[in-house]
């Protein structure tokens, strides 16, 4: 789903995002997940309760499939609570990163970020997933 990374809207205006130079210089790495990897994640995903699965869009599922199956360590940043809940439920909460944390790492800290971009948002929903794991919630019971 490339369309999400092509522009952003501010004050009703569309502003293009061009990551071409960053990709060419190796600052941003593009990955593709094989159908086999997606199928394996889908098998895992099918074990989640509907509250998890219904909220997870295809792009998030692809990114999580890559993160779960990769031998390399990756972090994922999202403005969607379900991503952090899934990470928490799978015991991978340390691989989530809010936009606020990303900006701080590169020296561009911002004080007026929307709730979904804040570290506290990530922590809240990661903790919910961790609580679900402790309480045995979030995954379907094996027959």
**Residue-wise pLDDT tens digits, 108-136:** 877 788 999 999 999 999 999 999 999 98
Place of tokens 């794991």: 133
Q: Is the pTM of this model over 0.85?
A: no
Mean pLDDT of 50-54: 75
Is 21 part of a structural domain of the chain? no
Is 45 part of a structural domain of the chain? yes
Please tell me the predicted confidence (pLDDT) of residue 13: 83
How many domains, the chain? 1
**How confident is residue 23, by pLDDT bands cut at 50, 70 and 90?**
confident
Q: Domain of residue 124: give its range.
A: 33-135
**How confident is residue 1, by pLDDT bands cut at 50, 70 and 90?**
very low
Is 106 part of a structural domain of the chain? yes
Q: Are 140 and 47 in contact (CB under 8 A)?
A: yes
Place of tokens 């369309």: 3
Looking at per-residue pLDDT, the higher value among 104 and 55 belongs to 104
Is 129 part of a structural domain of the chain? yes
Mean pLDDT of 17-45: 79
The whole-angstrom distance between residue 52's C-alpha and the CA centroid of its chain comes to 13
Interatomic CA distance for residues 68 and 91, integer angstroms: 11
Is 39 part of a structural domain of the chain? yes
Q: Are 58 and 1 in contact (CB under 8 A)?
A: yes
Is 18 part of a structural domain of the chain? no
């Amino acid at each position: 789903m490339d369309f999400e990374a092509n522009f952003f809207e501010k004050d009703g205006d569309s502003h293009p995002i061009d990551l071409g130079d960053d990709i060419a210089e190796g600052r941003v790495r593009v990955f593709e997940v094989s159908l086999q990897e997606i199928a394996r994640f889908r098998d895992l995903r099918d074990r989640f309760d509907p509250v998890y699965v219904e909220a997870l869009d295809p792009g998030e599922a692809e990114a999580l499939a890559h993160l779960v199956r990769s031998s390399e360590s990756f972090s994922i940043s999202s403005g969607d609570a379900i991503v952090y809940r899934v990470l928490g439920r799978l015991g991978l909460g340390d691989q989530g990163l809010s936009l606020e944390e990303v900006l701080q790492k590169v020296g561009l800290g911002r004080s007026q970020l929307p709730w979904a971009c804040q570290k506290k948002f990530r922590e809240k929903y990661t903790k919910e997933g961790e609580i679900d794991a402790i309480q045995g919630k979030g995954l379907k019971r094996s027959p």
